[in-house]
Structure formats: C-alpha cells, structure tokens
Amino acid sequence: MGKTSVTQKSEEPELSNRKIKHSQTKHSDIPKTLGFIITVAGVFFLVASLFSLLTLVVLQASTGDGESLSSTEMYATILTVTTILTTLAAIFIGIKLIKEWDIGRKLFNVFTVIVIALAWGKYAYQQNEIAKSFANMPAELVANAQQIELSSALTVFILPAVLLVVVALLNIPRSRNALKP
C-alpha cells in the first residue's frame, strides 16, 4: 500500500504538467472568428461604399456643368475612395486570418494604425468645416449641427477602441501560436 501512494504522488505532477502543456498548445479559434467578422464587415462596407461612389458619379453627371469638383464633392469622393480601399484591405486581411496565416495579424496591426490616422484626419477636417459653418448659422441650427458633430466625435473614439481590442486579441500568445507563418 505504501508503494502505491508513492507512485501515485509521482504520477500526479507529471499528469498536471501534461495538462498545463496541453492547455498552452491548445488551438485558438480567435483569429479565424475575427477574420470572419472582419471579412463580413468589409463586404458590407464595400457594398455601401460602392453605392456611395455610384451616387457621387450620378450626381456629378446630373449637374452636367463639366466644372471641377467643389471642396465638398472632392471630400466626399476622397472619403468614398479611401473607404473602398480600406474595406478591400479588410476583406484581404480577414481572408488571411480565416486561413490562419500570421501575415493577416501583421497586416491588421498596420491596418489599425492607418484607419485610426484616417479617422482622425477625417475628424479634423470635419471640425474645421463645421466651425466655418457655425459662423453663419442661426442658433437653432447650430444646436442640431452639434448633435451630428457629437456622433462624429463618438465614432472617432469608438472605432480606435474597437480596433485596438481586436489587435490585442490577435496578438495574445494563444492567437499568435494558432497562426501559420
């Protein structure tokens, strides 16, 4: 009886070591899941951006004046084109993550920096244009415009937070180990 308890005690640490090693090497579905979500969101925003681009082209053609674009039309065009490019990048990154390739994680890290910079640039431009517009508006309209400004400000703070959470999830060791080089 004494021998059995000694062998049981010596097997217990070995068994617990195996459990630790198994849990550390366990496959993570985080990159695949995030890749799917990123791809679906990318497709959704790509379709919306293409409709936006189509609308801009139709509106420009309907004016028929052949003159250069106004600053508002130029801003809308630049915003739509950058949105199309970022959604195409998101779809590409999402597919790489679904295939569990590490390049998807690395590209998403770069993508996050670029999208946050674009969001802040858009926000700065909008703030400049809104300030110009407020100067000539009656007080009632200024109050309504400030509500729109608030939603824009929330977007510029929420989007980076969401992207940084995804970056954190993709860069935890368990997720990184699940990706192929």
Structure confidence at residue 56 (pLDDT): 87
Residue 49 to residue 42: CA distance in whole angstroms: 10
**Confidence band, pLDDT 50/70/90 cuts, at residue 179:** very high
| Residue 164 forms part of a structural domain | yes
- Asked if residue 149 is part of any domain, the answer here is yes
User: Is 6 domain-assigned?
Assistant: no
The answer to whether 177 and 25 are in contact (CB under 8 A) is yes
Q: What is the reported pLDDT for 151?
A: 67
Q: What is the pLDDT of residues 61-117, one digit of tens each?
A: 887 666 777 777 888 889 999 999 999 999 999 999 999 999 999 999 999 999 999
* Domain presence at residue 101: yes
Q: Backbone dihedral region of 18: left (phi > 0), alpha (psi from -120 to 50 degrees) or beta?
A: alpha
Decide if 28 contacts 175 (C-beta within 8 A).
yes
Position 160 in a domain: yes
Q: Does residue 17 contact residue 68 with C-beta atoms inside 8 Å? A: no
Q: Are 82 and 118 in contact (CB under 8 A)?
A: yes
Residue 82 lies in a domain: yes
Domain contains 23: no
Residue in the block written with tokens 């630790």: 20
Find where tokens 């919306």 sit: 48
Q: What is the mean pLDDT of residues 139-165?
A: 78
The predicted model scores a pTM of 0.76
pLDDT at 159 over 60: yes
- Look at the chain and report how many structural domains it folds into: 1
Helix and strand counts by DSSP (H, E) for the chain: 6, 0
Query: What residue numbers bound the domain in which 57 lies?
Result: 29-178
Look-up: residue for tokens 């990184």? 176
Residue 122's pLDDT is: 87
In a domain, 18, yes or no: no
Q: Distance between CA atoms of 137 and 139, rounded to whole angstroms?
A: 6
Report the C-alpha gap between 4 and 7 in whole angstroms.
Answer: 5
Residue type, 102: D
Residue 5 has pLDDT above 60, yes or no: no
Average pLDDT, the chain: 82
What per-residue confidence (pLDDT) applies to 97? 97
